[in-house]
Structures are given as structure tokens and as C-alpha cells.
Structure 1
Amino acid sequence: MLSPATTRASTRTVSHLVLAGYNPLAPPGRSAAAAPSSGRQAVSNPTPAQVPLSTWLASVGRESDVERGYRIKHVAGGAGHQLVSYRNYEGFDRIFALGRNEAGQLGVGFASQEGTRALVEGFEGDQILAVKAGVQSSYILVRDGGARASSSSELARSATRLYSMGNLARGRLGHATMTSSFNESESAAGQEPRLHLVPRATAVALPPEIGPIKQIEAGFEHVLLLTESGDVYGTGCNTDGQIGLGDASGDICGFTKIALPSEVMQEGGVARISAGADTSALVTESGRVWTWGNSEYAQALHGRKIDQILRPLAIDHSFVPPNRRLVDYRCGGSFALALDDRGSVYTAGFGALGLGASVLRSPRPRRVDALEGQGIERIRAGWGYAAAIRGEFSAIFTWGLNSTHGRLGLGTLASSRRSFDSTKPPALNMHVHVPEEVALPLRELGLDGTVAGRESVRWRLGEVELAMEGLWVGIEAEEDVD
């Protein structure tokens, strides 16, 4: 489905959304992959396939957005659920939620044991800055009235606001005044928290001193915020010290400021943050990385196993060549990725390292040689798998633990590149040890230069999101308008 949004008089931008892996809204009972030309939606998509977002939007009453155009802004993938934010033809931002909703994590006002799709209401006129998803939880960061601002100065004065929804347990939603039904006696007995649901997107009462929010990142059951002033706050599960408060005290219910070492400010302050399964990190403006939380697989890049790192701790940067600096860092589950300003990717930990079949564990950071010279500009670390994104001549490379639905997008569930036969279950060789390029469905989208009249269409990769069960990719195409 095309979704044009005019950018200037002579061109228009068309948004596409493609998926590799599990399709949460495939028709019931459709267990095999559909042939690309059939137009049918399949449960399994081991080769990336176009998501019928326009059809889904029309099914929830947004026919006008489909007819007159929209542009995808953000994609967030959690444990079986997704949020997609888009800007419509009028310049208003909207959020479409789909997938699992057993804890109300879609924010549509109810919980359901069946796959659900719906618009998340209540944000008319607000600018969506970010959407994030964790385990049974979702987060929406908005700028109040941003879509109605008449000038850049008015936009700058607009306040940011955070909303969350889903399972309140462990404090992951940040609602300090709400408590789950989990009590200390149950905790001592080792029981899991019982569900206490917030099924509608609900504003989080943040500390008054927190100020405008620059970035939000969600782990399994903890969340980090970075403010415009450079402060970092956390809430949620802290059993491995992933909130960074100096202890592993259990659950933190409400966003709490993390005391950053003075060296962080000396290095220019915090540029960005990352939250993995139960590990956290920050990158300073000067390219230094600090990590904390669980590092039982050495995934915090300190060169050795450390069960719990209770406060932000600077990593040893000796693995980075002279005259280079790190520009991004991503916490995965049992591994992490770092990217330098020359496009080299580094990794440490266990599992999705991309270093070959003989290297599944590396306590010290090592360069991913298979990506050298590829012009990598972005990295992503998911729950057991990873991706690197090339800028010029756009491409995505994935590696790590595949799934029974082919979430790596390499055409099969095996590390070999055999073609996928939709009439037979694919072979199960679950781990891809070296980065391989994902074959994007450019021909199906009319972007490979072979469609008459569309030879000059220019395209680029937009959002790339590694959800637990699938790889979601936004593709933006720009074409001339007669």
C-alpha cells in the first residue's frame, strides 16, 4: 500500500513498512509463509514482506489518512506487540498499536488474550517524539501541542510528557502513586508479581525537576530517561542494579535520578542512553561509554564477568583505534554492540556476536570484521539478535539467534541462503554466526528500478526495530510529481 505525503511541489514521499518474522495479525490458522505474489498475509515471514498498514488503518476508521497520505515516524517492538507512529496529511501524529494485549500494553483501553489492532487515542495535536516497548509495557513520549505550534520558538517552549501502559508490576511503568498487588511476603517466597494493569495510555507523574525529556529507552522491565539538561532517570526492576542507584534493591516504583560520576560531565555530558534486557549504558558527547546492571556474560564491556554493576562504570576504550570515538552503544540481552565514527562495529558478551561459529563468547570487545568497509551508520541490539544498517546504498545486515518465524529476514531459518519453500517448514539451524545482508522486497515495492515510469524513484531506510519476534523496517521512497 502506498502512503504518499507531499514534501514539496515537485516530489512526494511514500512510506512502506516491511516485516521479517512473526506477523501478529495474520489470519488465524495460516501457519505457513505465503508466496510473495499471493497478496496473502502469513504468520511466518522469513523473507521481509510488506505490512498492509494502510489496510489496517482503514479497518480502524482512518480511511482519510490512507487516501491522502501519511509518513511513518517511529516503530517500537516489544514482546509480541508493536506501536507505529505516523504523521498524516494534515501534519497530525497518530499511533497505531497491534499484537499481543494480555496486559493492556497496547493502550487501547482494554486487555485481550487475542491479537488486537487499534489506534491509541488521546494525542490529537501532540507531536509524537518517541514510542518504545518492553515486556508487557509501552511508552509514548510527546511534546504537548507540538503539531499546533506556529513557530520553532513556540515549539521549543512546549513541554514534553510521558505516557505508559501495560503491566504495572515491578514499577516498570513509572507510576509512583500506583502499586501492584505484589507484596513483600510473595517476594521473599520467590513468587512472580501478579498482574495489575493500566490498559489505557496514562500520563506519568514525573518529578517536577525533571524538565524536558530528550530520550527514552526500555529494557525488559526497566526504563531510562535522558533529559535535555543531561540527567538520567530510571524506574522498574533493579534486581541487577540496572537502575544504577548503588544497590540491587528490587523494584523502583517511580523515576529516580541516577547519580552520574563527575567524569561524565567532564566528557561533555550524556549524548545518549541504552537499556537492554537488564543492562544499561550511556554514551558521553566525547564518545566514552559507561555501563551498569547485569554483566554475567561480560556484556557490559568490562572484559570480565560481573554479576551486578550497581553504579555507572566507565569501560576500557583501548579496543577503539586512536583518533576514533564511539558514537553509539546498544545493550542487547547477553551481548552488546558499539559503533565508532568510522563505521566499525564492536561486540562483547555471549551469543549474537557476529564473529563466526567458533566465537560465541568474548569477554573483551572485538571488532566485527565482516562489517568492515560497509559504511555502517546505525546499529541495533535486540533480544538475541542484532542488526547493522548501512547509510549510502542502504542495506541491513542481521545475525544472531533466529526464530521459528525467521526474524533475521535472511530467507530461511537456517544460516545457509537456501530459498524458502512456502509449502514446507524451513530447516532449523537457529544461529547465524556472521552478519548477512537482508534482501529487502524492493521489486515488490516498485523500488528496484525495473518498473516503467518509476526508474528515478529514490529510497532510503527509515526506522529499523528489532522486536522479540520480528524485524520491522520502514522504507521511505521519494518520487517526482508531474
Structure 2
Amino acid sequence: MTIRRRLLSAPSSAQRLLSTSAHTRYQHVLYLGDVLGYRAEQRFAPFPRAWVDAVGGAADVDHGVRWRCAAGGPNHALLAYTLLDVPLAVRSARRVSEDVVIPGKVGVEEEGQEGEVLEEAGGRKAASSWPSKVYSIGRNTHAQLGLGFASQEATRGMVTGDLSGSCGVSAVVAGGTFSIVITQEATTSNISVFGNDTLGQIGSSAAETSTTLDPYDVSTRLAGSDAPQLRLLPLPKRVEVGGGGWTVKSSAAGVDHTLLLLEREINGYAVQRVVSAGLNADGQLGVTPSGSASVPISPLLSRAFQSVPLALTPTPSGTAGDKIVSVVCGADTSYALTAASDVWVWGNSEYGQTLCGTHDRLAAPQRIANPLPAAYAAHSIHTPTVPRIKTLVGGGAFAGILDTQGRVWDVGHTAPFAESAHDDTLRPVTGLPSVERLFAGLEYLVATCADEVYVWGVLPRSVSRTPVHRPTRVHLNVPRTPRQVWLDQNLRAKRKQREEGDGEKGGRVSVQAAACTRDHVLLVLDDGVGPDVWAECVQPPADKGTDITL
């Protein structure tokens, strides 16, 4: 409790000002909590470049990388990056022995100003291209890090295997003990899966289940053996879903199931499908036939992706219509959010987290009309416009909503979030500013507003050993690039840079992505100005002297 009060105490008005640099830009990766036991941080700290260098990423960082997306499961996290089209200027001897050549491009580097990303004519930022890579970190008990092996110890590395796609990685998904990487081609998506598929979580197999009389026995077995087996995929495996030609618009994973939102264009119309795979003990796959919802539910699992029977109507291309915009997973609950802020729900509803009352399970999808107008009225909150759902997130036994007014709501088993448990209706989360982004771990929520980050719930134990009942701000400093630190120590070079009009101006900080695990929180920040490149790529010039040597 003492640690929480000292490090996570609610800020006074004087403390609310974030200490940031006036001259920062670029992307920054920060972490809170315990990462592999190296160090536990109770405030957001910079993710060291050394952690990427140590797994073979040094040449990539020297070349220049842009973080694309992040995802966190209960025990591991994934961070995807793409190499810049044009490398940063040569600054270190390391590049001599570790040249980076983008496949399909000639490995010739052009001269440019140190510390800047070269741009196309007209000042446009050069679009990123293949190759994209995925950095994985955390527990690897079921080979969920994609490193080619499973291990009892937590570790880190680069996902090994073919993650090709002309448009790079578009999404990463971290489930209970499995992972999914989605890369994008011009009109289709590639789906690569790895980790635990014992219960069909990643839909990589159509293997038959046991033929025993036990309806709960869904174990995989080797030919001629009665011994149940784990099915682990230590390396990425390409999975075809829906016969090909589909683009993955949204993806999500629970503890033991996966949802994908697929879309393709047919004769000027956008056609959508939601598919699911994995365990179905609580109806979270949404594929249970009518009359088969009694225990044991049928099917108890699906080892291949199946279509969820939702009443979806093709919409004219380029229009929102009644399209689904995202799919979301709680631990054993599933959601599909529509453009009209209606929500399809199915799966576990023991705590009312489906907004459809308290039930043991919802075996078939139910459509819930936009719940926000009723919630605003119930709490006497007046608004000139109809509130809509901006973001829907799922936790272990709760759901969170960020609406278009910047308010956060929760529903379900939220006892760790407040002095008393909530019911099965939406309740507003108080003590927050106007929120821009909302993220969820299995047992906690993270809300961000520009350069402010708030957390509450059952946080990683290295941050707090007791539940944090109210949103509490965690202080952070936007780091400076290694080049900026060097300029601060070399005033002549800094003065010359200013005289040449190359001074860096601060921008508005925003959170681009987050990965929320039981051990730590990872954030990808954009400090608002300049090219999208990881700050750690911007090194001081290797061939320039310092003020001391001068």
C-alpha cells in the first residue's frame, strides 16, 4: 500500500502538469511494470534499444524503423515494426558490417542530413514497405512468442518465419497462450498463427477430437495412442480463412478463442463475415445451433474458423451503412461493434458484461441497440448530440466503453475498480479528463488523453499489490532521442542547428498503441511532430567531434 500511495497517488492540480521536453518528436516506446524481471518500473520508462539489439534488431534500428501496432495477452506482448523505405543517414560503424537491404531494392544508401528521415519530393513522408517484423516478449510456455521453441522462462525475440505482405503488418493479436500476425497485400490479408492450438484457438487444424464417450474430452491424440497431447505451433503457420480473397478488418482474442472480421468487395458492395475458432464452453464462438446450448454445449470447440451467424447486409462500397467496425474479445465473451454503435454480443455473461443481463452464457449472438442514450439518461447526463461508441474493450469479466464525448463507462464484474461491485448496466467512470484512447488488460483498464495516462483495476503486481479503485494518473516523461541528448551536451552543434533553422519543435503527444499484460504495460507514443520513426533510431553523428574534442 505504501508503494501505491507514493508512486500512484492521485495527483493534485500542481502535479497534473506532465514534465515533457519542449523539443521532442518521433515515436517512443515506454513500459510500466516488470519486463522479464530485468527491472520493475512504477513510472513509464523508455523501452531500451538494447532489448531490440540483443535479439538481432541492431541493423534494423540503424536503418530506421516505424512501430505499427501492439497487442498484449495475459502473459506476453507483441510489437510490430516496419523498416523505413529510405534508411537514415549513416552514423555509426555498426552499419559497415550490418547493412540492411530491403528485398526488391538495390542496397545503395543516399547521403542525407544526420538524424532526419529522407522524404519524397513535395515533403511527403515516404510510405513504409516490406519487410515488417514482430518483436515478442513475455512468457513462452506454449511457444506463443513464435521463436521456434517453448520455454518455462520468460524471454524475448523476433518472431521467426515468413511474415511477408506488400503492405506490411496490419495487426497483431495476443491471446491467452497463442498469437496471430496479420499482414496485408493489396486486396487480401495473410493470417499467420503460432502458439497453443490444443483447443483450436488459432484455427490451424481440422484434426478430429477424441472418440471417447466423455463429451468433455476434446483432447488431441497421436495415431494409435490414448494419451492426450498438447498441440503447439512454435513457428508461424499460414492459415487460409473463407477461401481467400478476404481482408481482415479487425481481430481479437480471448483466453482460448479468436474472432476475425473479414471483408471483401463484390460488384460495388462490401460483404462482411465474422469468423471464430477455439473453445466454446461459454458459447463464445457464437456457432451453437438452436437447441444445443445445454451442457455440454455443442460444439464444445472448433479447430477451424467458422462463420458466426450474424444478420449482415452488404453495403455500398465507401459507405458505413450497418457495417461492423470491430470485433472484441473478453476472456470468454465476444462482441461485434457496428457503425451505428449497436453491439452484437455472445458468450459468457455471468456478470452482465454483455449488456444483455446476467446469464450463465449466451450461446447465440444477440443484438443490443446503442446502450449509451439510456445510460446518459439514467445518470442525468445531458448532451446536445446522440452519444456513440468510439471504442469497446473487453477484460476478464467486464467490458469498457469510450464514447464520442470522451467519457468512459464500464459494465460487468468491476469490483476491483470500485468499493462495490457494479451491476449489469453501464456506469460512468469518474475522475477522468476527456479521454482519447481506452485499452484493457485482463484485470485493469488504461485510459489516455494526449500526454496523460490513467490506470485502474488489478494492476501488474510490480506496480501495485492492492487493487486501484479509481483512475490514477501515472507520470511519464517523453524521452529525448539520443541525438537530442548529444546536442544538449554539445552546445556548438546545437547552436549551429538552430542557426540553420533545423530546431525541433514540440508537438501534441498521443498514444498510438498499447499492450496490457499481467506483468507490464507497453505504450507506443507519437510526440506529434516530424517523421514517424522510433526515437532510438536517431543517434548522434559518429564522425562529429564533441565540444571537448573541439
> With structure 1 as the length reference, what TM-score do the two structures score?
0.78
Residues 169-228 of structure 1 show CA distances to partners (whole Å, capped at 9, x for unaligned) of 111011133467x66556647999742111100011323167221111111100001012
Q: In structure 1, give the amino acid aligned to 2:62.
A: E
Residues 384-425 of structure 1 show CA distances to partners (whole Å, capped at 9, x for unaligned) of 1011222xx33221111123211xxxxxx2xxxxxxxxxxxx
Q: In structure 2, give the amino acid aligned to 1:261.
A: A
After superposition, where does 1:90-169 map in structure 2 within 5 Å?
A: 90=85, 91=128, 92-120=131-159, 121-124=161-164, 126=166, 127-144=168-185, 155=186, 157=187, 159-169=188-198
Q: Give the aligned partner of residue 363 of structure 2.
A: 310
Q: Give the aligned partner of residue 385 of structure 1.
A: 444
Residues 27-70 of structure 1 show CA distances to partners (whole Å, capped at 9, x for unaligned) of xxxxxxxxxxxxxx41x222222221x21222222322222321
Q: In terms of mean alpha carbon deviation, does 458-467 or 12-21 score higher? A: 12-21
Q: Give the aligned partner of residue 324 of structure 1.
A: 387
Call closer, same or farther: CA 1:269–1:473 in 2, change over 3 Å: same
**Alignment partner of 1:283 out of 333, 337, 353:** 337
Residues 118-142 of structure 1 show CA distances to partners (whole Å, capped at 9, x for unaligned) of 2223124541010111111000111
Q: Give the aligned partner of residue 369 of structure 1.
A: 430
Report which structure shows greater RCO (CA 8 Å, sep ≥6).
2
Distance in 2 of aligned mates of 1:124 and 1:262: 31
Distance in 2 of aligned mates of 1:51 and 1:22: 12
After superposition, where does 1:263-274 map in structure 2 within 5 Å?
A: 268-274=322-328
Distance in 2 of aligned mates of 1:124 and 1:446: 31
- Structure 2: any 5+ residue segments left out of the alignment? 1-22, 86-127, 221-227, 264-270, 378-384, 489-493, 495-502, 532-537, 539-550
Shift of 1:338: 1.5
Shift of 1:276: 0.9
Aligned length: 413
Call closer, same or farther: CA 1:106–1:226 in 2, change over 3 Å: same
Q: In structure 2, give the amino acid aligned to 1:319.
A: A
Distance in 2 of aligned mates of 1:89 and 1:70: 6
Aligned-pair identity in percent equals 27
2:253 paired with 1:196 = no
2:108 paired with 1:55 = no
Distance in 2 of aligned mates of 1:204 and 1:104: 17
After superposition, where does 1:221-240 map in structure 2 within 5 Å?
A: 221-228=256-263, 229-240=271-282
After superposition, where does 1:22-33 map in structure 2 within 5 Å?
A: 22-24=34-36, 26=37
Contact 1:168 1:179 in 2 (8 A): no
**Alignment partner of 2:513 out of 452, 463, 470:** 463
Distance in 1 of aligned mates of 2:477 and 2:260: 35
Distance in 2 of aligned mates of 1:207 and 1:444: 46
Call closer, same or farther: CA 1:241–1:169 in 2, change over 3 Å: same
**Alignment partner of 1:206 out of 207, 229, 241:** 241
2:456 paired with 1:399 = yes
Shift of 1:99: 2.1
Q: In terms of mean alpha carbon deviation, does 307-316 or 232-241 score higher? A: 307-316
Q: In structure 2, give the amino acid aligned to 1:370.
A: G
Distance in 2 of aligned mates of 1:235 and 1:190: 14
Shift of 1:362: 2.1
- CA RMSD of the aligned region, Å? 3.2
Shift of 1:294: 0.4
2:533 paired with 1:474 = no
Distance in 1 of aligned mates of 2:54 and 2:208: 36
SS at 2:386's partner residue?
coil
Q: Give the aligned partner of residue 64 of structure 2.
A: 69
SS at 2:51's partner residue?
helix
Distance in 1 of aligned mates of 2:214 and 2:479: 55
> With structure 2 as the length reference, what TM-score do the two structures score?
0.68
Distance in 2 of aligned mates of 1:441 and 1:405: 20
Q: Give the aligned partner of residue 32 of structure 2.
A: 20
Q: In structure 2, give the amino acid aligned to 1:457.
A: G
Call closer, same or farther: CA 1:328–1:461 in 2, change over 3 Å: closer
- Structure 1: any 5+ residue segments left out of the alignment? 1-10, 27-40, 145-154, 407-412, 414-427
Distance in 2 of aligned mates of 1:12 and 1:444: 6
Contact 1:335 1:351 in 2 (8 A): yes
Call closer, same or farther: CA 1:13–1:94 in 2, change over 3 Å: farther
Considering fraction of residues, name the structure with more strand. 1
Shift of 1:441: 3.1
Distance in 1 of aligned mates of 2:310 and 2:203: 20
Contact 2:72 2:173 in 1 (8 A): yes
Call closer, same or farther: CA 1:479–1:347 in 2, change over 3 Å: closer
